[in-house]
Structure 1
Amino acid sequence: MLRSSADPVDPIKLNKPATIGATSTPKPKAAPAEMEVPPSRPMMRQYELVERVAQYNPNVDEALLNRAYVYSMKKHGDQKRASGDPYFSHPLEVAGILTRMRLDDATIATALLHDTIEDTDATRAEIDQLFGEEIGKLVEGLTKIGRLHLVSQEDKQGENLRKLLLAVADDVRVLLVKLADRLHNMRTLYWVPPEKRHRIAEETMDVYAPLAGKMGIHWMREELEHLAFGVLYPDDAAMIERRLAERRTAVGSMLADIEADLSEHLASNNIRATVTGREKKAYSIFLKMKRKHINFDNLSDIYGFRIIVQSISECYAALGVIHTIWQSVPGRFKDYISTPKQNDYRSIHTTVVGPRKQRVELQIRTEEMHRVAEFGIAAHGIYKDNAPRSQNELAHDSRAYAWLRHTIELLSDGGSSAEFLENTKLELFQDRLFCFTPRGKLIALPPGATPIDFAYQVHTDIGNTCTGCKINGHVRPLVTPLQSGDEVEILCEAGASPPSAWNALAVTGKARAAIRRANREADRRKFVRLGRQLIGSEVSRWHVRDEPDLTIAADRMGYPDGEALAYAVGQGRVVASAVLSTLGYDEPAGAAANGAKPATPLPIRGVGDDLPVHFAPQFYAIPGDKIVGILDPGRGVTVYPASAGEALSAFADEPQRWLDLSWDPRGARDTLFPVPVKLVAANACGALAEIAGIIAAEGGNIDELTMTQKTPQFRDMNLHIEVRDRNHLTRILDRLKSLSTVAEAERIVS
């Protein structure tokens, strides 16, 4: 039987049809105020809920469900929803949705109780006492953060999602109840004010629908997308629904004919199969129109068929029969039986040119595969053969749950609420490409992923120490987009760490979270080292003979340990001299408490140093220059050439921030420093090539070049040349001056 995209329960119907252009990418709009009122339903009665559960669980705990029903109804009392309906109708509908997925008694009871702690005077202790600790824990996991004052709506969403997913890592039933809760809220979204309606729909489309898809609950993902689509893109949704209705009339009996034809051919080959036709959903059509930049009339695969057979061998036998009678479309075959999706989805997909030259999509699967495809993680044998399993066993053999728990562990480690929300969205994208390690391990990644994402998907340590890669045996840049089927070898180097720029290049939330975490840890190590060096300088200046005990100082100053105290000193939140004073040491007589400079200059190597070092903008200090440092709270040391008197005068009233610096010779040969140079060169053929040749021959590098015409005979050139030190720069300038095409060559001093 053909199922229409208008079939989901309580679809949002819209009154304003419109068109969608072949190349347009419309922005979401606020839902129109004239949305039709969704049909009201009589509230489910107590015995009806119990009967629904009893249909799949003859051993239903009627007493538990009855207690939860009565308790929730009493607690919500006279509370009303925005529609005017009793508030209790909402948890009751959520419970009803979960019975469709054949969930256990504890989950159904949790659905009835899920808003009691948040919206009534019920407490966790009371829930535990009346319904048991298991249900109490589930209900608490569903309770949103109500008393936390967060800066933005995005922060609030991120914290709510973080708390939800952390609870899910313990018990996936929390997620199933939350998804059902969101589905009923979307079904009744008409009653929500328009400005809030759009935000809820956007959150549903970005987070909850993909999350349902990741858990393999296909029907729920489709309905959530359908409802959110109607709110975010009302004109496009109305247009597509109208065009689908027109197309149904036009195709007439063709779909029934294809069903009959397929069934007959399969039966004649002794394959027992159930064939059902289905129509592509409106939102899926919308995405394809955007992705392919086509309009509705150019779509050729709106209709598809599911073929349900008895065994895996019959899946492949049915495929052979279909490809024998109809021509297959190249590039449109996917075998998710041999390579299942991360949400445990298994099926064979193929597209053929059927009757009337119409493209037809086919999905071939077994009954068990179909059950998992529809109900996902909820289909993993909770009531298999009417024998209930312990809910703690739910989905422990599920790849989807394993992926979810692993992702949550990675995403929950540090970072702001907004970062958590962003990274979680990245991890929820449905489409995947598949690459291989040199040993043949399959790695699933989102489209656009690079070897950086691949490295972190293999292991966090591999990503953190990654320095290069080979794709299909050839060395390639780490920013190369990967393609399905690529074999990727990651080249690592002990002690390497990811640069902060990788965060903008990574596609997966896992990689971004790991890079940010590694950067935070690296920054902390740098600030701790700086703090210890600043304290060491004060020890030298104060002539303290013994090594000060930072553990004692930290305890007296309110820090958990010596490292935390050193970190605070490095960040500029604690003055190094205060540490020694706390330990009872006396500053030498005659020295200004804050103004005296350390006896030993702080050695630095440059930006790649293991200290938090930055160079003042427009002041290009290079080894050999005399330099001073300004301690910039929270950023580390900003380096100025000693000649930058006017800029340094801004810190004249803050002597405690001044640091004596010296160049560390250990890094002098490994680092190139940019320095601005001005040249006046002849406007002659080959002049620029001669200049570049000299710089390259001396081991320098041109980082930036601008030219202006001074006279018809000469041009002014401003270059940023990367050099090792002043001697290196002097040698390059001397050689440039020796060229007949160069009239002037000098360093620009800001």
Structure 2
Amino acid sequence: MNTIEDLCDRLKGYLPADEIQQVRRAYYYAEQAHDGQRRSSGEPYVTHPLAVATILANLHLDHQALMAALLHDVIEDTGVGKEAVARQFGEPVAELVDGVSKLTQIKFESKAEAQAENFRKMVLAMAEDIRVIIVKLADRLHNMRTLGALRRDKKRRIAKETLDIYAPIANRLGINTLRLELEDLSFQAIYPMRYERLRKAVLSVRGHRKEVVKKIQHRLQERLEMEGLQGRVIGREKNLLSLYRKMKHQRKSFSEIMDVYAFRVLTESVDDCYRALGTVHNTYKPVPGRFKDYVAIPKANGYQSLHTTLFGLSGMPIEVQIRTREMEAMANNGVAAHWLYKAGQTDRPIAEGSHARARQWVKGLLEMQQRAGDSLEFIEHVKVDLFPDEIYVFTPSGEIMELPKGSTPVDFAYAVHTDVGNACVACRIDRKLAPLSASIQSGQTVEIITAPGARPNLAWLSFVTTGKARSAIRHYIKQQQRSDSEALGKRLLEKALAQFEVRLEDLTDDRMALLLQEMEVNSQEELLEAIGLGKRMAYMVARRLLDHDTLERVPETLAEGNMIIHGTEGMVVSFARCCRPIPGDSILGHISFGNGIVVHRYNCKNLQDIRDNPDKCVGLNWAEVTEGEFSVNLKLEIEDQRGIIARIATLITEMDANLERISVDERDAKLSTLTLELSVKNRVHLARIMKKLRLIPEVSRVVRLR
């Protein structure tokens, strides 16, 4: 078991004496605060914060982070408050402790929701100080190391959460040392028997492989020295979870996976990396298409390395990673290398770059969090970004952008900026027009075409990949629906009040405030939105707004209060598919709960029983000038002739209408029935099309379907 003196001895390598003294003081404070508390394993509780601080000391984190690690459970598990910690150790340490403290328990509907809410809070804390998440990762790692004392079901739950959230975060921040151990410990807790069998299998083949590994290693080292390169070749082993996943996903046996030999070459400079690559390619033949250059284009978490696969003796594959010593430190410590290099007072832009990238990632998470409707929706978006298999694409100006594999031009547009995504209408991939749903490949140049007034399409959610795009589209549509609902609700309420010869603006603020209080609604906007979505009846709200004398006045006619439909009302006014109304038809609106108004033709059979119910239906008239196109169905009886369908389609296009769907039902050898779905502007436009269709000799009958 580590002691505080062991920790202080370790800190002497990179921290000044006064800072070590502050760390020691934080330990004694924590020891006193946790006095009498024990862990599930029976050990004194203070052993846990001490172990967490030791993990961080190995990453060379600063004294404030180490103090926060020692104090991280003080606020929740003891009687000490945040203010007391701030008085003793300063505001930055208190803020860190507050961020890392186990999050306040709230009663949630489900464990999934609780986990999602905790993660959301963690992101908010990370945005304040990235060290919060590093301390949290170290805290989780020590908890994983000491899972033994817990029940089987609790072990599995904690391990699954670690694998779903914490290991991917460690990977995203580039802290490989923590990630690998978190993954292996999680694998061991979730599948103990599979872990043990795989571990024993690896141990048994290690002896057989030793000679081959030594032989390849010696040959590569010899060739580097012949070329005068300062480099060290080391054999590397895959972690057990990585082996298990490869066997499962690639459907390969253990022996097939273990037939691959893996080595790492560490050099002194970037120039040496590329020279070493040439040397290994001259030693063993490279496998075509298996070379990746993460030095020129680093991964999103700052990882840099050259990857190549070679044909070894008897054709066995050899995987080689080539990187500098600094890149090795970055690969193992990631964002923590920022503090590692800072401690040595060495100018390391590579570490600074990783820290900046991490901050950028957290900023993106924060933006997503603000747009998400709830914690579960947020975590759904984030999980996509936590498991990226990156591709690298270029903007027209030559900048490189990282995106998850399978991304589309819409994902790219939102990665550039949310406003670009919202206004996106088309795209060019490698200077050729392409569909917005196309899958982008690494190395392609993507150009987004925008248009003023354009808006996101709900259909985009079926193909976008990134969490940022998904959350931005949902957020925009929600906001649009809210604003459309509010406008519609206002019109419905004004129409209901007009029946009592009252205008909305004539009502006093006190009367409206009293109604909002009675109906338990926060604001007038919220009330109007609820009316627009059909959740509250405009007629009933109008009655509650008015005094008794006004209600006594019964309107002489209700027809004059009909609402006007322009065709541009947005998502809260939709057109019924059963009768397909178009401008010029007599129409009636059905108030559908949660969906606003559904416009039907006045004689639609589906409204027969509720037509006179003011709570469910609202009188509508078309505006003199309507915008947009409206779907309508036509049935044609035709004589079968070669090319007749093409002629009909051409005529419809020439008449400035859009043919959306066509189906043919053959009645006998000579006659067929055609059902067409087309978009028209109004009844006059439809009448002109039907007249032209009847002039075709082979068309015997044209009717509009009702």
Q: Same fold (TM over 0.5)?
A: yes
Aligned ranges 1:125-136 → 2 under 5 Å: 125-136=83-94
Q: Distance in 2 between matches of 1:73 and 1:725?
A: 80
Q: Which one-letter code corresponds to 1:638 in the other structure?
A: V
Distance apart, 1:269 and its partner CA:
2.5
Instruction: Report the 3-state secondary structure (helix = DSSP H, G, I; strand = E; otherwise coil) of the residue aligned with 2:448.
Output: strand
Amino acid at match of 2:563: L
Question: How far apart are residue 293 of structure 1 and its match?
Answer: 4.5
Q: Call closer, same or farther: CA 1:61–1:247 in 2, change over 3 Å.
A: same
User: 2-side partners of 1:526 and 1:737: how far apart?
Assistant: 41
Which SS does the other structure have where 2:589 is aligned?
A: strand
1:689-712 superposed Cα distances (whole Å, 9 cap, x missing partner): 555455445444454455556556
**Contact in 1 for aligned 2:484/2:571 (Cα 8 Å):** yes
Please name the residue that 1:674 is paired with. 631
Once the two structures are TM-superposed, the CA of residue 161 in structure 1 deviates from its matched residue by 0.6
**Which residue does the alignment assign to 1:422?**
380
Written as runs of structure 1 = structure 2, the 5 A alignment for 1:405-444 is 405-414=362-371, 415-444=373-402
Higher relative contact order (CA 8 A, sep 6+): 1
Question: Is 261-270 or 430-439 further displaced after alignment?
Answer: 261-270
**8 Å CA contact 1:168, 1:175 repeated in 2:** yes
Q: CA deviation at 1:240?
A: 4.2
Contact kept, 8 Å, 1:537 with 1:599, in 2: the verdict is no
- Say which structure is richer in helix: 2
1:570 aligns with 2:529: no
Query: Does structure 1 retain, via aligned residues, the 8 Å contact 2:634–2:677?
Result: yes
1:639, 1:576 → 2: CA distance?
A: 18
Q: Given that residues 155 and 417 in structure 1 are in contact (C-alpha distance below 8 angstroms), is that contact kept between their aligned partners in structure 2?
A: yes
Read off the aligned partner of 2:366 and give its amino acid letter.
Answer: E
Q: How far did residue 477 of structure 1 move?
A: 0.2
**Structure 2 match to 1:615:** 575
Q: Which one of the candidate residues 135, 138, 148 is aligned to 2:96?
A: 138
SS at match of 1:371: helix
Pairwise CA distance, 1:522: 1.3
Q: Counterparts in 2 of 1:11-22, with a 5 A limit? A: none
2:126 to 168, 182, 204: 168
Would the aligned equivalents of 2:231 and 2:267 in 1 still touch at CA under 8 Å?
Answer: yes
Question: What corresponds to 1:639 in structure 2?
Answer: 599
Choose 644-653 or 131-140, whichever is displaced more: 644-653
AA paired with 2:704?
Answer: R
Q: Contact conserved, 1:529 with 1:611, CA < 8 A, in 2?
A: no
User: Which structure 2 residues correspond to residues 11-50 of structure 1 after superposition, within 5 A?
Assistant: 43-50=1-8
Alpha carbons 1:343, 1:399 under 8 Å: kept = no
What is the match of residue 663 of structure 1? 622
User: Match of 1:33?
Assistant: none
Aligned-partner residue type, residue 55 of structure 2: I
2:610, 2:616 within 8 Å by CA — same for their partners in 1?
no
Aligned AA (1:268): M
Q: Is the partner of 1:108 in helix, strand or coil?
A: helix
How many angstroms apart in 2 are the aligned matches of 1:321 and 1:442? 29
Residue 590 in structure 1 maps to residue 550 in structure 2: no
- The 3-state SS of whatever aligns with 2:564 is strand
Q: Does 1:601 align with 2:572?
A: no
Deviation readout 1:274-319 (Å, 9 max, x if unpaired): 2211012233234444554444444477332222222222222222
The residue identity in structure 1 corresponding to 2:598 is T
1:152-163 aligned within 5 A: 152-163=110-121
Q: Which amino acid aligns with 1:570?
A: G
Query: Could you tell me which amino acid in structure 1 is paired with residue 386 of structure 2?
Result: L
Cα offset, 1:500, TM superposition? 1.8
Contact kept in structure 2, 1:395 and 1:401, CA below 8 Å: no
Q: Which moved more, 1:395-404 or 1:265-274?
A: 395-404
Q: 1:511 to 1:114 in 2, by over 3 A?
A: same
> How many Å separate the matches in 2 of 1:499 and 1:272?
56
Matches of 2:559 and 2:612, distance apart in 1: 17
> Aligned with 2:402: secondary structure?
strand
Measure, in 2, the Cα distance between the counterparts of 1:583 and 1:72: 64
State how 1:638-717 maps to structure 2 within 5 Å: 638-644=598-604, 647=607, 649-650=609-610, 652-653=612-613, 655-668=614-627, 670-671=628-629, 673-681=630-638, 688-689=645-646, 692-705=649-662, 710=667, 714=671
Q: Deviations over 1:632-651 (max 9, x none)?
A: 35432221221135535347
- Separation (CA, whole Å) in 1 of partners of 2:30 and 2:141: 20
1:503 match: secondary structure: helix
Question: How big is the shift at 1:550?
Answer: 8.7
Matches within 5 A, 1:333-732: 333-382=291-340, 384=342, 386=344, 398-414=355-371, 415-537=373-495, 548=506, 557=516, 563=525, 566-572=528-534, 573=536, 575=538, 587=550, 590-591=553-554, 597=558, 599-606=560-567, 609-610=569-570, 612-644=572-604, 647=607, 649-650=609-610, 652-653=612-613, 655-668=614-627, 670-671=628-629, 673-681=630-638, 688-689=645-646, 692-705=649-662, 710=667, 714=671, 718-732=675-689
Residue 309 of structure 2 contacts residue 320 of structure 2 at CA under 8 Å; is this kept in 1?
A: yes
2:207 to 245, 249, 255: 249
Distance in 2 between the 1:647 and 1:426 partners? 44
Could you tell me how far apart the structure 2 residues matched to 1:541 and 1:499 are?
A: 38
Q: What are the ranges of 5 or more consecutive residues in structure 2 without an aligned counterpart?
A: none
Q: Structure 1 residue 234: deviation in Å?
A: 5.3
2 CA distance for matches of 1:136 and 1:524?
40
Q: For residues 489 and 580 of structure 1, do their structure 2 counterparts lie closer, same or farther at Cα, with a shift above 3 Å needed?
A: farther
Q: CA RMSD in A?
A: 3.4
**How many Å separate the matches in 1 of 2:40 and 2:664?**
67
Aligned to 1:305: 263
Matching residue of 1:39: none
Please report the TM-score for the alignment, with normalisation by the length of structure 1. 0.84
2:277 maps to 1:319: yes
Structure 1: segments with no counterpart, 5+ residues: 1-42
Offset at 1:258? Answer: 2.4
Alpha-carbon distance in structure 2 between the residues aligned to 1:495 and 1:403: 29
| TM-score normalized by the length of structure 2 | 0.89
Aligned to 1:38: none
Taking the aligned partners of 2:279 and 2:250, their CA distance within structure 1 comes to: 30
Q: Residue 181 and residue 648 in structure 1: after superposition, are their counterparts in 2 closer, same or farther (change >3 A)? A: farther
Deviation at 1:742, TM superposition (A): 5.0
For 1:746, the equivalent position in structure 2 comes to 703
Distance in 1 between residues matched to 2:543 and 2:376, nearest whole Å: 40
What is the identity percentage for the equivalent residue pairs of Structure 1 and Structure 2?
36
Contact 1:710/1:716 (CA < 8 Å) preserved in 2? yes
Q: Distance in 2 between matches of 1:212 and 1:605?
A: 53
SS of aligned partner of 1:623: coil
Separation in structure 2 between the aligned mates of residue 237 and residue 741 of structure 1, nearest angstrom = 74
Partner Cα separation in structure 2 for residue 550 and residue 249 of structure 1 = 88
TM-superposed CA distance for 1:473, in Å, is: 0.6
Q: Distance in 2 between matches of 1:604 and 1:717?
A: 31
Distance in structure 1 (CA, Å) of the matches to 2:656 and 2:504: 46
How far did 1:380 drift?
A: 1.0
How far apart are residue 131 of structure 1 and its match?
2.7
**C-alpha spacing 1:356/1:245, structure 2 compared with 1 (3 Å):** farther
1:212-291 superposed matches below 5 A:
212-232=170-190, 237-238=195-196, 240-291=198-249
- 1:126 match: secondary structure: helix
Is the 8 Å Cα contact of residues 57 and 388 (structure 1) preserved in structure 2?
no
| More moved, 615-624 vs 203-212 | 615-624
Q: Decide whether the 8 Å contact of 1:552 with 1:583 is kept in 2.
A: no
Structure-1 separation of matches of 2:451 and 2:345: 53
Name the CA shift for 1:292/1:108 in 2 (closer, same or farther; >3 Å): same
CA–CA distance in 2 between the matches of 1:574 and 1:681? 48
Of 42, 57, 77 in structure 2, the residue corresponding to residue 119 of structure 1 is 77
CA 1:728 to 1:405, structure 2 compared with 1: closer, same or farther past 3 Å?
same
SS in 2 for 1:304: strand
Q: 1:546 to 1:464 in 2, by over 3 A?
A: closer
The 1:577–1:398 alpha-carbon spacing in structure 2 relative to 1, beyond 3 Å, is same
